[in-house]
Chain A
Amino acid sequence: MTTPLKVVVLAKQVPDTRNVGKNAMKEDGTVNRAALPAIFNPEDLNALEQALRLKDRYPGTTVHLLTMGPGRAADIIREGLFRGADGGVLLTDRKFAGADTLATSYALAQALRKLQPHIVIAGRQAIDGDTAQVGPQVAEKLGWPQVTYAEDIVSYDGKEMVVKRRLERGVETVAATLPLVVTVHASAPGCRPRHAKQLLKYKYAKTLSEIQETGADYDAELKNADYLRISEWGVADVGGEEAQFGLSGSPTKVKKIENIVFQAKESKKLAASDEDIDGLIKELMANHTIG
């Protein structure tokens, strides 16, 4: 290994849409974020695991998280630290607010220019938007190659990274040069648990704003323990054109929201024959109910 790898994991705090209850949606058809617990986007955890495996395999590798969101999204950085990451940056600024995938990618790409990692690893998509656009857009903006739907980072020889991709009809193994963006699929290994020592080491890790909220003395808090500082960057810190951030940088406009109420359709009668059973199984497989 020549130079130690610098890895940045893109992670997002999302409402837990996997266990939706009655109050999951507001009257206007938008997600009721207050009613759903905020969690680490699941595929971003798969991404973090891939990053941590690089760190296990190639000593000297550092893993940082990059997330964008309100102040409470610092939880995502802490969660990453507890599981083995070395640090993180929270992009938080009123001017970032209201961003669609394009403005988000712009902000992330600006921050990445400053962080200068060798590899960026992100989840394929977030469970609140399901767009799978942010990773690829970040790669485009940076002008880096991208490998999507990754299941495993197989090897790295100092120049090329070999990545196994999970595709609809099978797997594909590709090689790419660094710097590189990889987006990770849910079929990749789940993330390791929090490590007791990391948890105890970083339990007081905070952003400047969080320390100010508690009224504590910032310098005193971090004296001799600079690792407890979670960086907070705003628009001014990452630079770039203001118009491209947040709402103003977001061409996506929601035209209309349709409320759909699930209800049972008419039942289907099958004869007790192999053909009918066969047909049903094929139908269920085709619409992914089973298999």
Chain B
Amino acid sequence: MNFYTDNNDIAFQLQHPLMRKIVELKEKGFSDKGKVDYAPRDVDDALDSYDKVLEVLGEICGEVIAPNAESVDHDGPEVHDGRVTYARGTQRNHEALVQAGLYGMSLPRKFGGLNFSMVPYVMAAEIVSRADAGFANIWGLQDCAETIHEFAGEDIQQEFLPRINKGDTCSMDLTEPDAGSDLQAVMLRADWDEKKGMWLLNGVKRFITNGDAQIKLVLARSEEGTTDARGLSYFVYDKAWGGVRVRRIENKLGIKGSPTCELVFTNAPAKIVGDRRMGLIKYVMSLMNGARLGVGAQSVGLSEAAYREGLKYAHERAQFGKTIVNFPAVYELLAVIKAKLQASRALLYETSRFVDIYKAYNFVAEDRKLTPEERTECKEYQRLADVYTPLLKLFSSEYANQNAYDALQIHGGSGFMKEYPIERMYRDARILTIYEGTSQLQVVAAIRGVTTGAYLNRIREYEKTPVKGEHEQLKKILVAMTAQYEQAVQLVTDRNDTEYTDFHARRLVEMAGHIVMGYLLLLDAQRCGAFEQSAAIFITRGQAWNTGHFSFIEHFEPDHLAAYSVLKDAE
């Protein structure tokens, strides 16, 4: 089994017209050519390299990681004497990916990386997640390297980055018992030690994924007496420096292979990353955006896995004299799963391309000044990435849950049993709408895209793209949905009441999202027939969903809110 070559929808995204621009930027005019023996010669060569490396990854995922998923879920990690031991299967997965050189894919070559752009890196994350969503966390924490590369000084980069490709894993240590969604409340202390010439960390971190990693990025309070975000700085810690103990690991509903740790820091030495006081405001926010893109990939991968399980079972299982896929109630479930899967994937790679372009410009800006046009373009894509990322995280994670639920439903009673992998996937999916910012927090971030008109502007861009004659009808629906969306936004914002807007925020964000994904599927269908059914299904379902939301908003009187908010006083 090869989880890349058996899925044309992923490779299709490599052929997106923007990819050529992305590669050109990322390779800085192919300056490594002739200097590094594995650097590409030109755009086509680079795209071919993406394809070939993903094929290696797809094989490891299909042949090693997916077959291990069941035992990893069963065995889980263990903690002894303050140290974590991975499940055997997890160790094997990790070894295989290290042996294949698949850590540090997006790092520059001078640090042992492959210098891949975001799109193929996100593809890899999606494929790993399809094999085992829990393991995807351990692999995906190489995102931390990205943050070190972006914000740490040259000496820290030299010290840590070359280790990523050799298999050192990472963790990002943000949350504490009293600082979850609200990271401003972080209390772990960092004090400068003149004698050691290092910062010393003291305190407790909780819910830290892969908390016993060799390389940690830790958010800590460096400014004594402060209580807000401006007192927080970002630190890098090396396990070899000692001072951190794993007190316990959580017993979880899903992603059981991924150790979630409670950590005790006792005079743990650390080095500061970037500037003091910028920890949360700048660096964590950037890291979080990367992590949210990662959860998007994880969600799409899990949706893919769930879809395949549902499809397979529906073709195997016979009742009333025929396989159950022949019943409208079942094939409708499957078709909607597939439409949501393909829609969230389209959103995943659209977002990845936006991230890719602005990051590549920043990367180019290290060597030379950007032209005014380039700067404008860079900013424009960064803005798009900022509003698309929460939209992606929200939809892909919710769809992954809905898809796992429906795919399990197709299994009937068997789906409830451990015998079928869908049971694990259903549990693994549950965290996706929670970590790296709950769905509710994604809405808080995404509503800005609604109120500033950012989504609408982008929708207008999509609208300008011509479609084939047979798709005009679908486009008409999207145009009508857009008008209805504008009206809904107007109805809500006209009240000029923050609580009222917050109350309807999710509905508005969802309306925008349905239109955006509808267009993305429709545009993909212009280049490939394989997206036609999903475009038709998603757009017509989206029309119905949006009409439901619109109806609710249209008929919502201000005093209706009291019926909900009364719970504020209920105990």
Segment with Cβ contacts to A, from B96-104, B206-214, B407-415: B96-104
Would you call A194 an interface residue if the criterion is a C-beta within 8 Å of the partner chain's C-beta atoms? yes
Contacts of A224 in B (CB 8 A): 34
In the complex, B315 has a CB within 8 A of chain A: no
Query: 1/0 per position for B49-65, CB-CB distance to A under 8 A?
Result: 10011001001100000
Q: Which residue of A lies closest to B63 (CB)?
A: A193
Considering the chains assembled together, what is the distance between the CA atoms of A225 and B102 in angstroms? 24
Contact of B37 among A192, A194, A195, A201 (CB under 8 A): A201
In the complex, per-residue mask of A183-197: 1 if CB is within 8 Å of any chain B CB, else 0: 000000000111111
Interface size (B, Cβ < 8 Å)?
A: 19
Question: A195–B101 contact, CB under 8 A?
Answer: yes
- CB-defined contacts of A198 to chain B, threshold 8 Å: 38, 101
The distance in angstroms between the C-alpha atoms of A198 and B96, with both chains bound, is 15
- Report Cα–Cα, A198/B114, bound state, in Å: 11
Tell me, yes or no, whether A199 is within 8 Å of chain B by CB. Answer: yes
B34 touches A192 (CB 8 A): no
CA A192 – CA B98 in complex, angstroms?
A: 10
User: Digit string of B40-56 for contact with A (CB within 8 Å is 1, else 0)?
Assistant: 10000000110011001
List of A residues within 8 angstroms of B37 by Cβ = 201, 225, 227
The interface residues of chain A lying within 8 Å CB-to-CB of B101 are 195-198
The interface residues of chain A lying within 8 Å CB-to-CB of B59 are 193
Query: How far is the CB of B546 from the nearest CB of chain A, in Å?
Result: 44
CB pair B100 A194 closer than 8 Å: yes
Q: How far is the CA of A195 from the CA of B52 in the complex (A)?
A: 11
Determine the chain B residues whose CB is within 8 A of the CB of A200 once the complex forms.
38-40, 49, 52-53, 114
Q: Give every chain A residue within 8 A of B40 (Cβ-Cβ).
A: 200
A203:B52 contact, CB within 8 angstroms: yes
Q: How many residues of A contact B (CB 8 A)?
A: 14
> In the assembled complex, which residues on chain A have CB atoms less than 8 Å from the CB atom of B56?
193-194, 196, 199
How far apart are the CA atoms of A195 and B34 in the complex, in Å? 20
Question: With A224-B34, A227-B37 in contact, do A193 and B99 touch (Cβ < 8 Å)?
Answer: yes
What separation, in Å, do the CA atoms of A82 and B455 have in the docked complex?
Answer: 45
Set B34, B38, B48: member contacting A197, Cβ < 8 A:
B38
CA distance A194 to B39 in the complex (A): 17
Q: Which residues of B contact A197 (CB under 8 A)?
A: 38, 101, 114
Residues in B with CB closer than 8 Å to A195 are 99-101
Q: How far is it, in angstroms, between the C-alpha of A201 and the C-alpha of B105 when the chains are bound?
A: 15
Q: In the complex, are the beta carbons of A201 and B99 less than 8 A apart?
A: no
Complex CA distance for A193 and B100, rounded to whole angstroms: 6
Considering only CB atoms, which chain B residue lies closest to A82 in the complex?
B56
The answer to whether B60 touches A196, judged by C-beta atoms less than 8 angstroms apart, is: no
Identity of the chain B residue whose Cβ is nearest the Cβ of A228 in the assembled complex: B37
Q: Knowing A193-B56, A193-B60, A194-B56, say if A201 contacts B38 (CB, 8 Å).
A: yes
Residues of A within 8 A of B60 (CB): 193
Closest residue of chain B to A200 (Cβ to Cβ) is: B38
Interface of chain B residues 63 through 117 with chain A (CB within 8 A): 96, 99-102, 105, 114
Contacts known (A200-B52, A200-B53, A203-B52); A192 close to B99, Cβ less than 8 A:
yes
A95 CB, min distance to chain B CBs, angstroms: 35
Is the CB–CB distance between B53 and A199 below 8 Å?
yes
Min CB distance A15 to B, Å, is: 20
Query: Residues of A contacting B96 with CB < 8 Å?
Result: 193
> A202-213 toward B: CB 8 Å interface, digit per residue (1/0)?
010000000000
**Chain A residues near B102 (CB-CB < 8 A):** 196
Bound CA span A197–B166, Å: 12
How long is the Cα–Cα vector from A195 to B342 in the complex, in angstroms?
Answer: 30
A197 to chain B, nearest CB (A): 5
CB distance from B162 to the nearest CB of A (A): 13
Question: What residues of A have a CB within 8 angstroms of the CB of B39 in the complex?
Answer: 200
Hey, which bits of chain A sit against chain B, CB under 8 A? 192-201, 203, 224-225, 227
By Cβ-Cβ distance, the 7 closest A-B pairs, closest first, are: A200-B38, A196-B101, A193-B100, A201-B38, A192-B99, A195-B101, A201-B37
- Give 29 pairs: A residue, B residue, CB < 8 Å, sorted on A: A192-B100, A193-B56, A193-B60, A193-B96, A193-B99, A193-B100, A194-B56, A195-B101, A196-B38, A196-B53, A196-B56, A196-B101, A196-B102, A196-B105, A196-B114, A197-B38, A198-B38, A198-B101, A199-B52, A199-B56, A200-B38, A200-B114, A201-B37, A201-B38, A203-B48, A203-B49, A203-B52, A225-B37, A227-B37
* 8 more A-B residue pairs beyond the given contacts A193-B59, A193-B100, with a C-beta to C-beta distance below 8 A: A193-B99, A194-B100, A195-B99, A198-B38, A200-B49, A200-B53, A224-B34, A227-B37
